[in-house]
Structure 1
Amino acid sequence: MHFAFTDEQEDLRRTVRAFFDKTSSEPELRRLMDSPEGHDPGVWQRMGSEIGVQGLMVPEEFGGAGCGMVELGVVMEEAGRALLCAPLLSSAVMATTALLRCEDPDARKRLLPRLAAGETVATFALTEDTARWDEEGVRLAAREDADGGWRLFGHKNFVLDGAVADVVLTVARTPDGIGLFCVEGDAPGLVREALPTLDPTRRQARLEYREVPATRVRIPGNGWDLVSEVLDRTAAALAAEQVGVAERALDMAVEYAKTRHQFGRAIGSFQAVKHLLADVLLEVESARAAAYFALLSADGGGDYLPNVAGLAKAFCSDAAVLAASENIQVHGGIGFTWEHTAHLYLKRAKTSQLLLGDSAHHRELLAQRIGV
């Protein structure tokens, strides 16, 4: 199979890369790492109003572009290259996917236009203290009031952008199974605490639900089926982001190998460095193929998406960690310093490797599905 992007998709890539070059430079990246929000709300709104990133998957009737996962993957790859400090994965991927896959026209009509315009940040709260990404890990309880309203009791942990999100789509356990609930960020009883993280470019939070009022989102059939689809599509998007991380780390290593001289010659001329970079290039290109196939599978609607997405997530995560680690190796001592950006790519790669479950988790799921 020969995969090639369309002219429109390549235009999208160029536009997004130019935007990120201006708004996500290294000085700006370091400023946002130390800011309370972890991102620039003004830039977030510009992403929605100027280039329509948040609304790529949103149907036109809700103010979006009506595109698919491939177009979103182009943006995620560029976001990985830039180490974008923004709630892109949590809001434009996880929360938006949950709304698109639900059967609640009121929730879609109320939230999707705001998400597409960059006016609102949403997140998807699933994991708890066990950090399990499966149905058994859901312990937060939802109880129905006498008047038909709902209250949530418990907590969520490791929630992406949970401390700043305007809306938290929360997975909870109800008397009839897994349910999805919409919680306003300023709801009474919701206590949000930012967590210290290895990767300062992607924020996480712990959320305490102390009898928090919530609106139940109507979903088709078994609630966990919707959650699983959100996780599969997020895995495909995250795989694309990891390709961007790996690609940029490799580019940094190649650039440095050409300019750093030792013993009177560029270190890139040494056979050991050549072989190292060649091995990384092979992994990056293989990861790119895996990520693109996962994105195509998500748009194709086949029932093999769970297998493809999980495998792509596992492979691309490992490739990104390898590329970022070898980038530091090529840079030598300077690669370990806080002043150099190499360590930030390794931290993004490592935390993303664990997000949604590590590589061993996804390979084990694949083995179970195919009966190995």
Structure 2
Amino acid sequence: MRFALSDEQGSFREVLEDFFGSRVGADHRRRFVDGDGAYDERLWAELAEGLGLSGLLVQEGAGGSEASLVEQVVLFEQAGRNLLCSPLFATAGLAVPALLEAADGLVRQELLSKIAAGAITATVASGEPGRVRGGDGTVDAACDAAGNWSLSGTCTAVVDAATADLVLVVAATTGGPALFAVSKDAAGFVATPSKAFDPTRPLGILSLDAAPAQLVGAAGDVRSLDRARLVSTVIMTAEQLGGMQACLDMAVAYAGSRVQFGRPIGAFQAIKHRCSDMFVAVESSRSVVYYAAWSLAEATAQDEELLVAMTSSSVSTAFQRTASSLLQVLGGIGYTWEHDAHLFLKRAVSSARLLAVVDDHLDTVAAKLGL
């Protein structure tokens, strides 16, 4: 099977490359990492309102572009390549798939419209581990006689917990897990930033004490919650792919400019082999990521969970190896705070543990294949 981007998708990629190349560079990352953790609001406005990237998957009727998962992967590959520090992943990579797959009714339409317009940022927190992940914990939902819902419990490792305007919480009900929407301004809502290993992706602890919430999806709709998780995982692998490409680019550039013993270090066999292995890892990952995105978009996979588990375990491992290889090519300069290499390594490690650890994926593969 031959897969290639269409002319429109190729043009979209070029637009993104130009935008990220001019607006998202080392200065952007350094301001975020060395600052107070606040996002660049002007950049977010350009991404969400100017380019409409927050609503790429959202239906046209709700103000979005109604693009496919393949276009979303094109977007997040470029975001990962530039180590974008913004609410884009939490909002468009976690919250939008959760709403599209597991929500229904007027509330769903209203929230998607606000996200597509760039009016709000959002994230996902899970009080039902193993469902739509974006943190682990236990959250229980209660409904009073008037039909009003409230949530109580705690979720950890929630992406952008302290800055998101809206949190979609997967909570336990008597009818099974369900998706709820909670505003950051709700009574009983407390989001506390956590000290994260990866300084480019803020995490936080979400504490809910009888916080008012809106039910946005049917209770017990496990299949839809699981599919939202699969879509978000594929989006994550696209971001990882972009990070791998950046590591390869930095390694090749340094190998061609760093002179030792009278010639560029890229002329030495050990460096050649290291960069060649990185290239193979990047291109292999690109094939599996885009195949997974196309398969989910077209609903062609016989077993989507198996496909995503194989894709994520492969790409997560490859990203960590590629980021480590970059350090080997760079030598001492790669271990300094001033160089971006450590930021990509930290993103590689953190992203491999955010939605599911590699061992979990491998267990899924083994179980599905009867190994």
Query: Are 2:91 and 2:122, in contact at CA under 8 Å, matched by a contact in 1?
Result: yes
In structure 1, what is the equivalent of residue 67 of structure 2?
A: 67
Tell me the alpha carbon deviations over residues 65-116 of structure 1, each in whole angstroms, 9 at most, x when there is no partner: 1111000000000001000001222111211111112352211221111101
Other structure's SS at 2:141 match: strand
Deviates more, 1:293-302 or 1:17-26: 17-26
Taking the TM superposition and a 5 Å limit, the aligned residue runs for 1:191-230 are: 191-219=190-218, 222-230=220-228
> 1:135, 1:187 → 2: CA distance?
22
The number of aligned residues is: 368
Query: How far off its partner does 1:51 sit?
Result: 1.5
Are 1:253 and 2:251 matched, yes or no?
Answer: yes
Q: Which runs of 4+ in 1 moved over 4 A?
A: 134-138
Query: How far off its partner does 1:232 sit?
Result: 0.5
Query: How far off its partner does 1:140 sit?
Result: 1.1
Segments of 5+ residues of structure 1 without an aligned counterpart are: none
Letter in 2 for 1:270: F
Query: Are 2:127 and 2:153, in contact at CA under 8 Å, matched by a contact in 1?
Result: no
In structure 2, what is the equivalent of residue 292 of structure 1?
A: 290
Query: Are 1:233 and 1:298, in contact at CA under 8 Å, matched by a contact in 2?
Result: yes
Query: Are 2:90 and 2:160, in contact at CA under 8 Å, matched by a contact in 1?
Result: yes
Query: Are 1:56 and 1:65, in contact at CA under 8 Å, matched by a contact in 2?
Result: yes
> 1:309, 1:113 → 2: CA distance?
28
Query: How far off its partner does 1:271 sit?
Result: 0.7
Q: Rate the CA distance shift 1:117–1:135 in 2: closer, same or farther, 3 A.
A: closer
Deviates more, 1:191-200 or 1:304-313: 304-313
Letter in 1 for 2:162: A
Tell me the alpha carbon deviations over residues 89-146 of structure 1, each in whole angstroms, 9 at most, x when there is no partner: 2111211111112352211221111101222101110168xxx535996631111112
Query: Are 1:328 and 1:342, in contact at CA under 8 Å, matched by a contact in 2?
Result: yes
Tell me the alpha carbon deviations over residues 265-285 of structure 1, each in whole angstroms, 9 at most, x when there is no partner: 111111111111111111111
Query: Are 1:127 and 1:159, in contact at CA under 8 Å, matched by a contact in 2?
Result: no
Query: How far off its partner does 1:366 sit?
Result: 1.8
Query: Are 1:46 and 1:118, in contact at CA under 8 Å, matched by a contact in 2?
Result: no
Query: Are 1:99 and 1:107, in contact at CA under 8 Å, matched by a contact in 2?
Result: no
Scaled by the length of structure 2, what TM-score is found? 0.95
Tell me the alpha carbon deviations over residues 187-218 of structure 1, each in whole angstroms, 9 at most, x when there is no partner: 11111100111111111110100111111113
In structure 2, what is the equivalent of residue 360 of structure 1?
A: 359
Query: Are 1:138 and 1:172, in contact at CA under 8 Å, matched by a contact in 2?
Result: no
In structure 1, what is the equivalent of residue 239 of structure 2?
A: 241
Other structure's SS at 2:138 match: coil
In structure 1, what is the equivalent of residue 18 of structure 2?
A: 18
Query: Are 2:237 and 2:289, in contact at CA under 8 Å, matched by a contact in 1?
Result: yes
> 1:145, 1:127 → 2: CA distance?
20
Query: Are 2:198 and 2:347, in contact at CA under 8 Å, matched by a contact in 1?
Result: yes
Query: Are 1:62 and 1:112, in contact at CA under 8 Å, matched by a contact in 2?
Result: yes
In structure 1, what is the equivalent of residue 158 of structure 2?
A: 159
> 1:327, 1:135 → 2: CA distance?
32
Tell me the alpha carbon deviations over residues 155-212 of structure 1, each in whole angstroms, 9 at most, x when there is no partner: 0110111111111000101111111111001111111100111111111110100111
> 1:21, 1:297 → 2: CA distance?
30
Query: Are 1:236 and 1:309, in contact at CA under 8 Å, matched by a contact in 2?
Result: yes
In structure 2, what is the equivalent of residue 111 of structure 1?
A: 111
Are 1:40 and 2:37 matched, yes or no?
Answer: no
Query: Are 1:38 and 1:202, in contact at CA under 8 Å, matched by a contact in 2?
Result: no
Other structure's SS at 2:280 match: helix
In structure 1, what is the equivalent of residue 90 of structure 2?
A: 90
Letter in 1 for 2:92: A
Q: Rate the CA distance shift 1:258–1:72 in 2: closer, same or farther, 3 A.
A: same
Q: Rate the CA distance shift 1:260–1:103 in 2: closer, same or farther, 3 A.
A: closer
* Corresponding residue to 1:262 among 260, 263, 278: 260
> 1:34, 1:167 → 2: CA distance?
26
Letter in 2 for 1:56: L
Other structure's SS at 2:180 match: strand
Letter in 2 for 1:186: D
Other structure's SS at 2:54 match: coil
Other structure's SS at 1:139 match: strand
Segments of 5+ residues of structure 2 without an aligned counterpart are: none
Query: How far off its partner does 1:38 sit?
Result: 3.8
Letter in 2 for 1:30: R
Letter in 2 for 1:48: A
Query: How far off its partner does 1:244 sit?
Result: 0.5
Q: Rate the CA distance shift 1:353–1:218 in 2: closer, same or farther, 3 A.
A: closer
In structure 1, what is the equivalent of residue 319 of structure 2?
A: 320
